[in-house]
Structure 1
Amino acid sequence: MKKVWAFFTCTVIFSVLVTGCSENGKKAASDSKKDNKVTIKFYSHGNEESYNWKNTIESFEKKYPTIDVELVILSEKGDTQEAAKKLGLAAASGEQMDVIMFSESASYAQNVSMGMAAPLDEFINEEGYKVTDEYKVDTEINGKYYALPGKFNPWYVLINKDHLDAAGLTVPKDWTWDEFMEYAKAMTRDGHYGTYFHGPQDGSWLEYIRLALASEDEDTEFTTEEGKSNLEHPLFKKTLEMRVKMEKEDQSAVPYEEVLTQKLHYREQFFTQAASSIIIGSWVNAELGGTELNPLNFNITVAPYPKNEKADKGGYAPVTTDYMAVAAKSDHKQEAYTFIRWYTTEGQIIQGKNVPSWNKVSYHDTNVIIDRILNGTKNPEKIDKDSLIDVLTNAKSSKFVSPVPNQAEIYKVLNEEYEKLIFGEQNIDSTIKVSKERVQEILNNNQ
């Protein structure tokens, strides 16, 4: 009975999301066109401080005087979970929606599956470009594009340059995971560890048990594009082997038990010099020169996300972006597309808060953006800016893999099995075997 009621409830919610309140929609459509102008309503999880919306939107409206953009900030705190809830409520109440910003890939894929975003292929084909040539992030789902990518935040390796010099090592420009392990081992000295891994924790930060997988151009997740388990992939096993070796044998990584029991955090570990390096996303660019909370008392350099083999192309890394979509129920799809296309290209440069996913951003523009970001910190002179720009310029996103239903449940299972491994309760082969069985059961239930 509970399943029937849950199914009925989901069906009602889905129906409301898709159909909306037609009367409200009609009124919004009629109200949005006045004085030969079209007003499009844009829903964003990002606040003014993080996204410089006022100046950005004013610049767009100056270039496109027949389109006004009405911004709806879903969370003043920039809380993506709060934003997702408010977005769902707005959709269910039939409010006018034209442009929607999704904060991460799971939210993007889920809302596409619910019919909230319109396919953009018609507009893309009419303009005559290829998304993978134009942008660094591929947003394709099941052969169609439902969003264009905004910011480009690839993962990289932050390294304490003072510790690097003390170990007699050079700044890595192109390296493998084996070399990363060697570096971490060499920098483990004078009472600090060579590196710190911030996950997995509580079913999140699972990037830290797919390190080697994420270095590839495709097939980088725990599940495949077809929704099947990917846990037999040799690079999943390689990552587990790396984590065990670095903690147990080399003793170059902060012990996982300490991460959990002491509730450690990557910022504190790196900025207090407790760890010589961290693998993290470039959303921390705005903190690199130090802040009031985490002052910088040493020099920092940046290395690319490691690759698996010397001969590999390299540059691939986990990437976070904003997915800019046109609402499926929008009465102004052309104007909404015009906005997201502008925003994900020249608009990103004007906004000046992040490195854009747009491939046509010049080295000069990237330099200006990075200068602006670093100059907002306490000690930008301590950052190896050339290495930072080089890493960000050459980083690439892997092929997008749509998250499966119950993704969070899969993450929880993998987290549990990893803990059994790292605490010595089972070996690597058993971890993979049991993880695959448990994940497969979740996948079967999804069907």
Structure 2
Amino acid sequence: MKKIWTAGLASVMVVGLLAGCGSDKTDDTKKTTDTNASTDTTSNTSTTDDTKKSDPVNLRLYTYGTEEAYNWKKTLTAYQDSHPGVTIELVQLSEKGDTQEATKKLDLAAASSEQIDILMFSDAAAYAQRVALGMAAPLDDYITKDGYKVEEDYKVDTHLNGKVYALPGKFNPWYVLLNKDHLDEAGLTVPTDWTWDDYADYAKKLTKGEGATKRYGTYFHGPQNGGWMEYLKLKMENQPQGSEFLKADGSSNLDDPNFKATLELRVKMEKEDKSSVPYSDMISQKLAYRNQFFNQSASMLTIGSWMNTEIGGTDKVPLTFHVAVAPFPKNNASDPTGLTPVTTDYVAVSDTSKHKEEAYQFVRWYTTEGQVVQGKNIPAWNGVNSDQVASIIDTILSGTKNPELVDKASLVDTLVKSKASQIIAPASYQAEVYKAINEEYEKLILDKQDIDTTVANAKKRVDEIIAANKK
């Protein structure tokens, strides 16, 4: 396995080096060297999972998370205080939280056979790719022994190919930010359960004026350059399964009626209702979604809940109106509420760890009670009640300029309701798929082809990409 891992990582590192060329660099070589020096004294302490519980165990946690964003000192101290004999050695792979830099350094550490016990991945693609390389140990036996199911205990189901290799930490669902002053002006209530038809109706009623001073009902920040593709899956992402452009077996999912329905929604809102900011304006003017919402150029913004730290206003983007939050819309009134795109931390046990049992115990604690102790993010753990979420939100909003302008109740209610659809492991050629679909959408929205032609062309191009990558 070690040979396979090292060879596989060599190819991943080449890709990572190319992908990271444009990102900022932070030199934490000294930090890595210092932590390596401690490995010799700790790795000989215990060599098997059968070590007596009284023997001291040092676990090395490799993470991209910064102290500011993750409150590590407080969190790790709390764990060590409640688990005598276990120490957690933090290896910060990027002092500024650059996930590309961190992933590259993690791959280098793995290829160098450093002691790694616990790993964190920032997205499903990094998680799936490194599981395929054998970097993460399966957790199913531990989970069975503890008597819970990931899909019931957490809002994110982390199964890959029928097994669990990581537990989810923070929980960043997508939601809808609302200018509550505009809603009040239009006589509209804050939605607690709504459909995309309702969303389009709200956008139409919230649109006001003409020309350069026109206020749009909503703003969609994508797709663009093969990125922000969530905006072309609006009616796919709120489904329990099949939320991606590719199916789990690697075949195209573009014949899903919800893909076509998403295109129809986007065309209707921009071309017929004229309630969404034109795509051509977004591209040509390089519009920023924060400015569109906080400058009140658009009354609604569908976006990820990383915005929790900003919705109360910041020095750069102040808040001058009341903000409310609504859940990601459904397709039909009878559909389950809360399914939405989600980002999370995937916390895994290294397959090379000599202390897998102890590493798992930390991972389980960190993704449950530890998230509450950390107090920096909304946990993916379902064991957190509304009062605890409200307390975390209070802490987050207290770091903004005008928390009193945020409708906290609607934010908490939305976050508690939200949950992720099934993870589909990204293909190695995912970027090619995104680029092709993006290009076909541009032809549609710029009036160069109709919806049926767009669906047919996108499916044809994606099928060709899939076939080419199977050779």
TM-score normalised according to structure 1 size: 0.94
TM-superposition CA deviations, 1:21-56 (whole Å, max 9, x none): xxxx9x947633559311111111111111111111
Shift of 1:17: 9.2
User: Is 1:32 matched with 2:43?
Assistant: yes
Q: Distance in 2 between matches of 1:374 and 1:33?
A: 45
Which residue in the other structure is 1:92 paired with? 111
2:65 is aligned, of 40, 43, 46, to 46
User: Is 1:114 matched with 2:125?
Assistant: no
User: Is 1:73 matched with 2:67?
Assistant: no
Contact 2:337–2:417 (8 Å) recurs in 1: no
Q: Distance in 2 between matches of 1:261 and 1:376?
A: 34
Contact 1:194–1:276 (8 Å) recurs in 2: yes
Q: Distance in 2 between matches of 1:94 and 1:331?
A: 13
The secondary structure found in structure 2 opposite 1:373 is helix
TM-superposition CA deviations, 1:400-438 (whole Å, max 9, x none): 111122111111111111111111111111111111111
The residue type equivalent to 1:39 in the other structure is: N
Which residue in the other structure is 1:13 paired with? 7
Which residue in the other structure is 1:410 paired with? 433
The secondary structure found in structure 2 opposite 1:83 is helix
The secondary structure found in structure 1 opposite 2:364 is helix
The secondary structure found in structure 2 opposite 1:214 is coil
Extract unaligned runs of 5+ from structure 1.
1-9, 19-24
Which residue in the other structure is 1:22 paired with? none
Q: Distance in 2 between matches of 1:231 and 1:152?
A: 28
The secondary structure found in structure 2 opposite 1:100 is strand
Q: Distance in 1 between matches of 2:249 and 2:55?
A: 47
The secondary structure found in structure 2 opposite 1:288 is coil
Shift of 1:271: 0.7
Contact 1:41–1:98 (8 Å) recurs in 2: yes
Distance 1:119 1:168, change over 3 A: same
Q: 424-433 or 138-147, which moves further after superposition?
A: 424-433
Q: Distance in 1 between matches of 2:172 and 2:9?
A: 35
Distance 1:62 1:413, change over 3 A: same
Shift of 1:15: 6.9
The residue type equivalent to 2:8 in the other structure is: F
The residue type equivalent to 1:384 in the other structure is: D
Which residue in the other structure is 1:6 paired with? none
The secondary structure found in structure 2 opposite 1:88 is helix
Q: Distance in 1 between matches of 2:322 and 2:315?
A: 17
Distance 1:150 1:420, change over 3 A: same
Contact 2:5–2:133 (8 Å) recurs in 1: no
The secondary structure found in structure 2 opposite 1:369 is helix
TM-superposition CA deviations, 1:61-100 (whole Å, max 9, x none): 1111211111111111211111111111111111111111
TM-superposition CA deviations, 1:339-379 (whole Å, max 9, x none): 11000000000000111011111222111101000111110
Q: Distance in 2 between matches of 1:323 and 1:242?
A: 33
Which residue in the other structure is 2:396 paired with? 373
Shift of 1:16: 6.3
Which residue in the other structure is 1:212 paired with? 235
TM-score normalised according to structure 2 size: 0.89
Which residue in the other structure is 2:250 paired with? 227
User: Is 1:392 matched with 2:415?
Assistant: yes
Contact 1:302–1:384 (8 Å) recurs in 2: yes
Which residue in the other structure is 2:282 paired with? 259
The residue type equivalent to 1:257 in the other structure is: S
The secondary structure found in structure 1 opposite 2:218 is coil
Which residue in the other structure is 1:301 paired with? 324
Contact 1:17–1:92 (8 Å) recurs in 2: no
Count of residues in Structure 1 that have an aligned counterpart in Structure 2? 433
Q: Distance in 2 between matches of 1:107 and 1:232?
A: 27
Q: Distance in 2 between matches of 1:306 and 1:12?
A: 44
Shift of 1:116: 0.9
1:101 is aligned, of 120, 124, 129, to 120
Contact 2:80–2:88 (8 Å) recurs in 1: yes
Once the two structures are aligned, what percentage of the paired residues are identical?
56
1:179 is aligned, of 184, 198, 201, to 198
The secondary structure found in structure 2 opposite 1:195 is strand
Q: Distance in 2 between matches of 1:139 and 1:208?
A: 23
Shift of 1:11: 9.1
Q: Distance in 1 between matches of 2:184 and 2:406?
A: 15
Shift of 1:312: 1.2
Which residue in the other structure is 1:202 paired with? 225
Contact 1:150–1:322 (8 Å) recurs in 2: yes
The residue type equivalent to 1:387 in the other structure is: S
Shift of 1:268: 1.0
Q: Over aligned residues, Cα RMSD in angstroms?
A: 2.0
